Amino acid sequence: MQTLFFFLHMLGIVFWPGSLVTIAFVAASPTPGDDGLPQTLRKVNLQLTTPAMLLAFIGGLGMLIPDFGSLYARAGWMHAKLGLLLILAALSGVLSGRLRRWSQGQDIHPSQFGRIGWLAALTTAAILVFAVFRPI
């Protein structure tokens, strides 16, 4: 069962931040004539990014819960990683909301998407550092 949770977690963490950052950077640089871009990006976000986030959380919790008290409860790196994951989830929500408003015709400045993309990329890099090197 642990292998299944690990697989779900890995699948989710590849597609969640990957699609989040990609969508944000594509939205940050629209080109003239991309009339359907907001709707397309929102659809990709709803059909790929959100399910991938759920997979990452389900797989991660499936691996975390059995050993939490004996191993992870005392691991500072895990607390830092979980805190950063909440930030990444919040950035996913912000991106989703901005895409919804943009697809409904509201004027959203592209630089907002660029900032979300950079914050998501940096947060993901920090999560990877904690997950791989376990520095604290």
pTM of the model: 0.92
Q: Measured between alpha carbons, how far is 93 from 43 in angstroms, rounded to an integer?
A: 14
Q: What is the pLDDT of residue 125?
A: 98
Mean pLDDT value across residues 6-22: 97
Sequence-distant (6+) residues with CB within 8 A of 77 are 130, 131, 133, 134, 135, 136
Residue of 49 and 136 predicted with greater confidence:
49
Is residue 30's pLDDT more than 80? no
Q: Over the stretch 83-135, which tens digit does the pLDDT of each residue have?
A: 999 999 999 999 999 999 999 999 889 899 999 999 999 999 999 999 999 88
Share of the chain above pLDDT 70, in %: 100
Mean pLDDT value across residues 23-30: 93
